[in-house]
Amino acid sequence: MFENMRLAFQGIWSHKMRSALTMLGIIIGIASIISIVSMMKGTNEQIKQNLIGNGNNIVEVQLCQDDNPIQLDYQSVPNGVSTISEYTRRNLMDIDHVEGVSLYTQRQYSNDVYYQNQSFSGNVNGIDENYLNVYKYQISVGRPFTTSDYMQRHKVALLDEKASVTMFAGEDPIGKTIEIKGEPFQVVGIVAVSSKSTKVINSYSDYHMYADNGSSGTVMIPNTAWPIVYQFDEPQNAALRADTTDNMTQVGETASEIINASFPTLDTSEACYDSPSIKQAAQQLQDLSDSSGKQLIWIAGISLIVGAIGVMNIMLVSVTERTREVGLKKALGAKRGVILGQFLTEASVLTCIGGLIGVISGLVLAKIISLLTGTPTAISIPAMLLAGMLSIVIGVISGVIPAVKAANLNPIDALRRD
């Protein structure tokens, strides 16, 4: 084996230009695979972060009818549903890969909020003590809710940055009073998501795809103060933070099962707790991955077939050039398998070198394209390993016919050939 490899390197080195041109097809094919996979993986990770994780890996489990969240502003509460118990919340915390759980009540696109004579058409959330931590909100101005706010049902409110700009247009909202269904609430703080939780917006089209333009922001009040303006025992949403984006679908399914089981009188054929946004986003990612994979197979297949033909052609030329050498070895007693192994090894070494150069070229190419176009990239170790294996397989397959031709040479005829 080592002797065959030494002879292979010797043959490649003695015909450097010819070997380089032969490897060019393999290099282009492997580089295409690595660069495309790196760019697709980077794009998929960005889409996964924007559509599913939003940087927080948050799974929202909501009460749904016909796969759509129930809107309490114009839909009635189904029979058998009340607030989620603390016992159920602890069970949710025990789910594998869950780092935090919050229970909150929400009115989306509510028109119940006013500041002076200006209405606000955003979201109103009744949040528990865990909400800010689960969503990774930070207090940018003012203070968070205190234990006293929850215990004594203080009518206080937090605004996110969007709601602050919408209602106060640059004014300092701290200490100001807003009305929710006629009840006065004092603004005590402004919250903002941490920098690592923001969506990745690389272009104007990304902004329209991912930015939440349908809401004017969110007003948050203590969940204990929620019954002051809305109904008692309204259905809640559960927000669970998963440890990684890849575990979000599993967390959502398990959490839905636990919450539904906590309401034995709920008719799940009419309404049930589910995480529809996660399922939709996961399906979009699956469709994107399937489409990208099919394109990659065609591109890689064409490139590598061209490379394999080039290797086979050069190996046939090599057999012709070394006919007398093969004849001499066979005359001295070399077995058929020895000759076969020599030429297969040479073809494999040739394609392996081409594959290695192709991997490096693919990574460099992906980085250049990323810098020029702004497309994110991510190194795929499985793709690199697959490229290496493909190089070996191509070398063996493309070297079979030349190797068999060399092994079947008649030693007398080979020695007679000029």
The DSSP letter of residue 244 is: S
**Single-letter code of the amino acid located at 86:** E
- pLDDT tens for 264-306 read 888 777 778 888 766 666 666 666 666 666 666 676 667 777 7
Q: pLDDT tens, 74-96?
A: 777 777 777 888 899 999 999 99
Structure tokens at 261: 């089981």
The more confident residue out of 356 and 8 is 356
Asked if 125 and 72 count as a contact pair (C-beta separation under 8 A), the reply is: no
Calculated CA dihedral for residues 378, 384, 387, 388, nearest 10 degrees? 170
Pairing, β 183-193 against β 156-160: parallel
Packing angle, helices 16-47 and 336-373, rounded to 10: 50
Residue predicted with more confidence, 191 or 278: 191
pLDDT tens track for 239-253: 999 988 778 888 988
Distance (Å, rounded) from C-alpha 4 to C-alpha 342? 5
State residue 209's pLDDT score: 43
Per-residue confidence (pLDDT) for residue 205, from 0 to 100: 46
Q: For residues 199 and 212, what is the distance between their CA atoms, to the nearest angstrom?
A: 10
Kindly state the percentage of the chain with pLDDT values over 70: 74
Number of other CB atoms surrounding residue 378 within 10 Å:
16
Pairing of strands 177-180, 98-115: antiparallel
C-alpha span between 43 and 369 (Å, rounded)? 13
pLDDT at position 131 is 95
336-379: pLDDT as tens digits: 777 777 777 777 788 888 888 888 888 888 888 888 877 677 77
Contact 188, 174 (CB under 8 A): yes
User: Distance (Å, rounded) from C-alpha 300 to C-alpha 367?
Assistant: 19
* DSSP tally for the chain: helices H, then strands E: 14, 11
Q: In which band, very low, low, confident or very high, does the pLDDT at 39 lie, cut at 50, 70 and 90? A: confident
**pTM over the 0.85 mark:** no
Which letter does DSSP use for residue 85 in this model? P
Query: Torsion angle, CA of 310/314/319/322, rounded to 10 degrees?
Result: -170
Please give the Cα distance from 256 to 235 (Å, whole number).
14
CA distances from 33 to 242, 302, 307, 369 (A): 32, 11, 13, 14
Long-range contacts of 376-382 (CB under 8 A, 24+ apart): 376/39, 376/42, 376/43, 376/45, 376/46, 376/200, 376/202, 377/38, 377/39, 377/41, 377/42, 378/38, 378/41, 378/42, 378/45, 379/38, 379/41, 380/34, 380/37, 380/38, 380/41
**What three-state secondary structure class fits 366?**
helix
Decide: 311 and 395 in contact? Cβ < 8 Å.
yes
Q: What is the DSSP string of 185-223?
A: EEEEEEEEE-GGGS----SHHHHHHHS--S---EEEEET
Residues 238, 86: Cα–Cα separation, whole Å: 12
Q: What is the 3-state secondary structure (H, E, C) of 315-329?
A: HHHHHHHCHHHHHHH
Sketch the domain layout of the chain as residue ranges: 2-49+286-416, 71-270
pLDDT of residue 321: 66
Residues in a beta bridge with 158: 189, 220
Query: Taking the CA atoms of the chain, what radius of gyration do you get in angstroms?
Result: 33
**Could you give the CA distance from residue 268 to residue 334 in angstroms, rounded to a whole number?**
77
Using one digit for the tens of pLDDT, what is the confidence trace for 127-180?
Answer: 999 999 999 999 999 999 999 999 999 999 999 999 999 899 878 999 999 999
Phi/psi of residue 199, each to 5°? -75, 155
Separation of alpha carbons 66 and 269, rounded Å: 9
